[in-house]
Structure 1
Amino acid sequence: MNRVVVVGASAAGLAAAETLRREGYDGTLTLVGDEPHLPYDRPPLSKQYLAAEWEADRLALRTGDDLAALGLDLRLGVAATGLDPGDRVVRLADGARVPYDGLIVATGVRPRRLPGGGGHVLRTLRDALALRERLGPGRRLVVVGAGFLGAEAAAVAWRLGARVTLLEPAPVPLAHAVGEEVGRMLSRAHLDRGVELRTGVTVTEVTDRAVRLAGGEVVEADEVLVAVGSLPNTEWLADSGLTLGDGVVCDAYLEAAEGVYAAGDVARWHNPLFGVRMRIEHRTNAAEQGMAAARNLLGPDRRKPFAPVPYFWSDQYDMKVQAYGFLRGHDEVAVVEGDLAERRFVAVYRTGARVSGALAVGMPPKVIRAWRQSIASGAVWDEAVRAPVQVRRLRGVT
């Protein structure tokens, strides 16, 4: 293999490129990124960077010297526009055709927009800077979507003195992922600080200064942030012959086609640990998946399935939320330590007969890490959660 192309220059793509070199690949290595910046970290965009606690230089994942040491053919500020698998060529927006023997797709996701097309989104450094410059004491911010991204941005805006309204279509924010009672607990953190949280509302149009709801009501704002999820960046692969369906569809080894692998937010792969296809939009998963894709590409005869216990975290107000596993579609949730009312607890999730996830708020990392092994080993629920006096069982979510 003489030519490897990695499309996507964020966490997954960078991890793939570094792993290729670390594993001994010394051929041509092209790293393509549609943003002009060197690879940078995205989670701080909705936290430290939005709050103006960090500047852009602290977001860099590697220095220019670090990247130079990798000997990359670095193509930044140019998007991939097509893939010709027969000729094994990636087409770029500047007209270049980049040949490959092996390809790793790590093109990530982009924010969903709503009718009207207005408002801010929060995905790139440019997005975060545009919103940061508009926040401050007395400013009215409407956030559409009370998921983790919307909640984090709302918390930062509140801390900066803005008047915040959160609009959420579901009756309980995040209930589909963490369960109704945990979702209500997270919601109370907003209400306790005077953030207006409106649930069960449908947004029909978004402009830069207002949001229209079903029924005609208009919620005015100085700024609007749309945080209603994301779409995988797969349009450039439409005529590639790859299987696309909420991402680039891969097998357990992250292979999408012969010599083509995917990693990061764009990859939808079969995770054998949980027995389902999943697409994970978390920073830790992106880096781990980039490394795994690179190793499997280089060593097809010694490939390993990618079977991680996903991990994510979120900072909201004074709460640190951490979670392991695959919480969506769980059947039952139980608090095994602490108390929901005190916002200091560990909740464990059951899917079928096994422990499938754990979430902690306000607890030391070692407390929830102890549950990671239970998830990884497929621990039986009735054996792992067997102290009924200490366990508060909550309603399940189907």
Structure 2
Amino acid sequence: MSSEETFVIVGGGLAGAKIAEELRARDFPGHVVLFGAEEHLPYERPPLSKDYFAGSKRLLDFTVQRGDWYRDHRVELRLGTTITAIDPAAHTVTLPDGSSQHYDKLALATGSTPRTLPIPGADAAGVHVLRTVENSDALLAAIHGDTDHAGWLAIIGAGWIGMEIAANARGRGAGVVIVESAKQPLLGALGEEMGAVFADLHRAHGVDLRTNTSVREIVTHDGRATGILLGDGTTVPADAVLVAVGARPNIELARDAGLAVDDGVLVDASMATSDPDIVAVGDIAEAEHPVLKRHVRVEHWANALNQPATAAATMLGVAATYDRLPYFFTDQYDLGMEYVGLAPPDARVVTRGDVAGREFLAFWVDSDSRVRAGMNVNIWDAGDDIRALISAGSAVDEARLADSGVPLSDVAP
């Protein structure tokens, strides 16, 4: 590597900051430039619906590095700057003012954008999404205003963001109604049986959770949201509305530059795109996974944290493979959970422990009795064993898997 080389990072979140860290940790001597659309130093996003929204963390607590780190490690920060185009042939990225920045290697960490709803009232004041610290601040202000009395929050969508905000809004004294079109919350991630566990949890804490329910429009008065109109004609009043119906990966730059894309930016196990001088990480990366034997794209913190080490190695010409299993976690009320792996749609769920008491393990098992994903709920010493079962790819005895008296290392037929 030459000190004359320039490596550019597009994306000012956790993934982008971690690539900069890794490049310097691996003694890259050249110029590193990081472009971020937000004015803030790169920060982690999970706290926006967890600790930060709950009031137990400040932004500084989940800022990846302080400003002096970038100065001391010679990382040029270009915050408040959205890259508008990539020219792979010229090895340049285009800035909003039309100027360009040369790169020798380029890392894309552009993240995702919350989805909106094509319904009347969706653009009214008082309708919120959650992606930035300002979004979290605005939502909290909307349900509290200038008083100690918390108002009512209507949440459209019972995915992870919606459910975590609901739990923390209840913890702050707000009334919460969640409207979900599916049969259970978290249906796509956990399936019907485990989704019901979270439904029961929220209802036990006073959330008005309405499943199998559609939203016709967001009701407004003088341009401000005052509630939601449901498909059955019922109106639910609210002081604020959160639209939490998922996110779309920001792949436009990659697509317009001619990189191979599908649901995300297609990368191999080294995080390299179809252009050998460009890598992609985080929410946008649809990566070939050596354990799962297919391309996967996962919008979770763990990928943004861990994929950059592989991507930085690839940028430096060092052989590297990203083979960590997908992972995510959540804390809602008194329920703490970790999930690892990726369950196929037709997987069966096998549980061990006290499901009703919310202290159990759950395993997603395929038609060949292989564990494809696992979840520990309020049990904190099982993660490594669950990973080992998934990585082994061997059939298990499902009766032994369900038996808490049998060690997970001893569930083979």
TM-score, normalising length from structure 1?
A: 0.92
Q: Which residue of 2 aligns with 1:339?
A: 354
Aligned to 1:49, the other structure's residue is in SS state: helix
CA distance in 1, matches of 2:403, 2:25: 50
Match of 2:134 in 1: 126
Q: Distance in 1 between matches of 2:36 and 2:237?
A: 37
2:242 to 225, 228, 244: 225
Q: Does 1:148 align with 2:160?
A: yes
Q: Deviations over 1:322-357 (max 9, x none)?
A: 111113525111013x11100110111123432111
Q: Tell me the percent identity.
A: 37
Q: Which amino acid aligns with 1:222?
A: D
Gaps of 5+ in 1: 392-398
Shift in CA distance, 343/359, structure 1 to aligned 2, threshold 3 Å: same
Give TM-score scaled by structure 2 length.
Answer: 0.89
Query: Are residues 1:83 and 2:86 paired?
Result: yes
Please show how residues 186-197 of structure 1 align to structure 2 within 5 Å.
186-197=198-209
Q: How far apart in 1 are the matches of 2:401 and 2:50?
A: 37
Q: Tell me if the contact between 1:135 and 1:160 (Cα under 8 Å) persists in the aligned partners.
A: no
In structure 2, relative to structure 1, the CA distance for the partners of 1:239 and 1:389 (3 Å cut) is closer
Counterparts in 2 of 1:347 and 1:388: CA distance versus 1, 3 Å: closer
Instruction: Give 1:101-250 correspondences, 5 Å limit.
Output: 101-115=104-118, 116-118=122-124, 119-136=127-144, 137-206=149-218, 208-250=225-267
Task: Provide the secondary structure at the position in 2 that maps to 1:133.
Answer: helix
1:374 matched to 2:367: no
- Compared CA separation, residues 387 and 245, structure 1 to 2 (3 A): closer
**Is the counterpart of residue 362 in structure 1 residue 378 in structure 2?**
yes
Q: Tell me how large the CA RMSD over aligned residues is.
A: 1.9
Deviates more, 1:207-216 or 1:146-155: 207-216
Unaligned runs of 5+ in 2: 220-224, 406-413
Verify the 8 A CA contact 2:362 2:375 in the aligned structure 1.
yes
Q: Give the distance between the partners of 1:330 and 1:67, measured in 2 at CA.
A: 47
Q: Give the secondary structure class of the aligned counterpart of 1:370.
A: helix
Q: Does 1:327 align with 2:343?
A: yes
| TM-aligned CA deviation for residue 169 of structure 1 | 0.8
The 2-side partners of 1:339 and 1:22 are apart by: 45
| Contact 2:351–2:402 (8 Å) recurs in 1 | no
Q: May I ask how many residue pairs the two structures share in their alignment?
A: 387
Q: Which residue of 2 aligns with 1:386?
A: 400
Question: Could you report, residue by residue, the CA deviation over 1:358-383 in whole angstroms, capped at 9, with x for unpaired residues?
Answer: 1011112x2233211222232x2325
Which ranges of 4 or more aligned residues in structure 1 deviate by more than 4 Å? 387-391
Q: Tell me how far 1:387 sits from its aligned partner.
A: 5.0
Amino acid at match of 2:123: G
Matched, 1:7 2:10: yes
Q: Which has the higher contact order (CA 8 A, sep 6+)?
A: 1
* 2:143 match: secondary structure: coil
Deviation at 1:179, TM superposition (A): 2.4
- Deviation (angstroms), 1:291: 1.3
Query: Cα offset for 1:31?
Result: 0.5
